Amino acid sequence: MEEQMSSAVQGSADLPNQEQVLEALKIVKDPEIPVNVVDLGLIYGVDIQPSGLVDITMTLTSVGCPVQDLIRADAEMAVSRLDGVSEVNVEFVWTPPWGPDKMTEDGKRQMRMFGFNV
């Protein structure tokens, strides 16, 4: 997943870095799946602008996800709490499509704990 991420700002004292954004996003969960969006492999990109704008490119487990607006709002709120963030933009993309192979090992472990076969 690391190679899929980009960041316009690395290590600025006034702005969060990519790792801090990803850590903030770990509180965001799909209500139907007991794993956070980072460990599910739903985050495809994080771009941090010098203005404090954070663009997040992500997907969902299915195109017709009924909680898309909730997940977007939760992601925006989680990242907007970081120091230096002035605005958060979440864009959903469907290419490449999500699959269980995008999950982190921790995400797969969590899914198995809840009885999912991954």
Both structure tokens of 43: 């985050």
Average pLDDT of span 94-106? 95
67 is a domain residue:
yes
In a domain, 41, yes or no: yes
pLDDT, one tens digit per residue, over 16-57 is 999 999 999 999 998 888 899 999 999 999 999 999 999 999
Burial 86-106 (b: 16+ CB within 10 A, else e): eebebebeeeeebeeebbeee
Per-residue pLDDT, 30? 86
State the average pLDDT over residues 68-80.
97
CATH of the domain at 68: 3.30.300.130
Q: How many domains does the chain have?
A: 1
Look up residue 86 and give its two tokens: 């002035």
Let me know if residue 118 belongs to a domain: no
Q: 65: domain range?
A: 2-113
Q: Is residue 52 part of a domain?
A: yes
Question: 3-state DSSP call for residue 17?
Answer: coil
Would 107 be classed as within a structural domain? yes
Task: Read off the pLDDT band of 13 (50, 70, 90).
Answer: low
- Give the global pTM: 0.86
d(CA 33, CA 93): 19
